[in-house]
Amino acid sequence: MQQRNRLLAEEVNDAARFQAFERSMAETGVAIAAARVSLVAELASAIDARRRAVAAAFPWAELAVSGLLENALATRAAVDVEDDYCSLLASERELDRAAGRTRSGPHRSDLMVGHGDKEMPAKLCSTGEQKALLIGLILAHADLVSQHRGGAAPLLLLDEITAHLDPARRLALFAEITRLGCQAWMTGTDAQTFAGLVQRAQFLDVLEGRVSAGL
């Protein structure tokens, strides 16, 4: 795409110089879109499994990936979607030249997230609800990664994770991380919000560039 954009910016009009780039963009773009669709489906299954097996401390998320190629793959074969996207790129060269960018493709796709219990788009939820949804997504994805890696859970880096969580959800979060058996680094400015991890975690204080034992 960068090479194609460069040709557009340099006012190149030789179709042959565009074709190889556009074919590569179509093949790779459709592969990316198909991988996204597959991942979102797996993640949705992991979320559904967690709803049945784990106490619902965090709201469950409805997921969908929306984009030109992802939507087309729902009803058409990948090879046909590739050909159509390649043709679209060829037909939109002058429009893209005027815009100074490639206007259509997998880089324009979006992950659509909804609050499952409320049947509401995440963008319309409160900040607290959005954070709870995000935490639930992170935990579900960690579960999925663990399944793909034979039980090896990923490393989690969770900055200010306990901020704005009530005590019940803090304890639920800690229980989930413990259940996953992963290494998790959690930061916060109030040590007491991590009191539920006493005897289960190592605490470190960082002050003026120095690290010391905490709690």
User: Mean pLDDT score of the chain, rounded to an integer?
Assistant: 93
Number of domains in the chain: 2
Assess whether 51 and 144 both reside in one domain. yes
The pLDDT tens digits for 185-194 are 999 998 889 9
Assess whether 34 and 48 both reside in one domain. yes
Separation of alpha carbons 94 and 15, rounded Å: 12
The pLDDT tens digits for 5-41 are 999 999 999 999 999 999 999 999 999 999 999 999 9
User: Distance of alpha carbon 213 from its chain centroid, rounded?
Assistant: 34
Assess whether 131 and 30 both reside in one domain. yes
Assess whether 30 and 128 both reside in one domain. yes
Q: Are 214 and 203 in contact (CB under 8 A)?
A: yes
Assess whether 130 and 146 both reside in one domain. yes
Separation of alpha carbons 79 and 32, rounded Å: 13
CATH of the domain at 67: 1.20.1050.90
Assess whether 177 and 86 both reside in one domain. no
Q: Domain ends where: 98, 127, 150?
A: 150
**Quick one: pLDDT at residue 56?**
66
Assess whether 37 and 23 both reside in one domain. yes
The pLDDT tens digits for 55-85 are 567 888 999 999 999 999 999 999 999 999 9
Assess whether 165 and 143 both reside in one domain. no
- Quickly tell me which residue has 């006493």 as its tokens: 198
Identify any residues that bridge with 186 across adjacent strands, giving them in sequence order.
158
Separation of alpha carbons 131 and 161, rounded Å: 9
The pLDDT tens digits for 131-149 are 999 999 999 999 999 999 9
Assess whether 159 and 146 both reside in one domain. no
Q: What is the pTM of this model?
A: 0.83
Assess whether 133 and 32 both reside in one domain. yes
Assess whether 24 and 123 both reside in one domain. yes
Amino acid found at 161: I
**Quick one: pLDDT at residue 50?**
82
Q: Domain ends where: 130, 150, 170?
A: 150
- What is the rounded average pLDDT of the residues 88-109? 96
| Helices (H), ranges, the chain | 2-9, 15-53, 68-73, 78-91, 93-99, 127-148, 167-180
Q: Which domain holds residue 178?
A: 155-215
Q: Which of 12-26, 40-54, 112-126, 193-207 has the lowest mean pLDDT?
A: 40-54
Q: Domain ends where: 150, 173, 206?
A: 150
Assess whether 141 and 120 both reside in one domain. yes
